[in-house]
Every structure is written in C-alpha cells, then in structure tokens.
C-alpha cells in the first residue's frame, strides 16, 4: 500500500541538502525517523546528494541510513531513458 504523507513547498534551491532537510523534517513530524529503508527517486543527481545528506542527518541522531544501499532508482523512469537512447 502506498500513502502520501507530505507534499511540501521546497524553499530555495532544489539541492540535495535542502531536499534531505525537508524529508527529515517530514519523517520527524510523523514519527518515522529510523524507519526508512530506502528512497525511490528518478536519476537526477540531486537525489543522490539528498540521500547522502539524509544519511548525515540520520547519523547525527544515531539513526542508520545507508545512502548507497538506501538509494533506489525508479524502474519506469530508467526504462524510459533507455528507450529514448535507442
């Protein structure tokens, strides 16, 4: 089951750091810190940076989140990009 828990305006740049802060605040708001296994997003590089920044935010609070293993790429988006390159 999927459930949208937040849809917020991102103030400032859409940098990985700003996105990670917004995600972390949402997790905190809903009591979900420490319960995230992975982040699914498209291939934009700021999503890689977001996961790295989220890992750092979690580490400061003793929460384990591994940006390398917790970063998933959206298969339909990846398939679409592959189809465009053919």
pLDDT 10s digits, 8-55:
999 899 999 999 999 999 999 999 999 988 998 888 899 999 999 999
Q: Report d(CA 49, CA 65) in Å as an integer.
A: 14
What's the pLDDT score for residue 74?
82
| Residue 77, pLDDT above cutoff 80 | no
Q: What is the pTM assigned to this prediction?
A: 0.83
What's the pLDDT score for residue 46?
93
Name the CA dihedral angle for 58, 61, 62, 65, rounded to a multiple of 10 degrees.
Answer: -10
């Amino acid at each position: 089951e999927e459930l949208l828990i937040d849809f917020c305006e991102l103030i400032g740049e859409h940098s990985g750091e700003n996105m990670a802060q917004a995600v972390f605040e949402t997790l905190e708001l809903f009591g979900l810190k420490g319960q995230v296994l992975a982040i699914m997003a498209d291939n934009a590089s700021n999503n890689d940076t977001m996961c790295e920044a989220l890992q750092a935010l979690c580490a400061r609070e003793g929460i384990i989140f591994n940006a390398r293993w917790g970063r998933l790429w959206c298969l339909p988006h990846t398939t679409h990009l592959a189809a465009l390159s053919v």
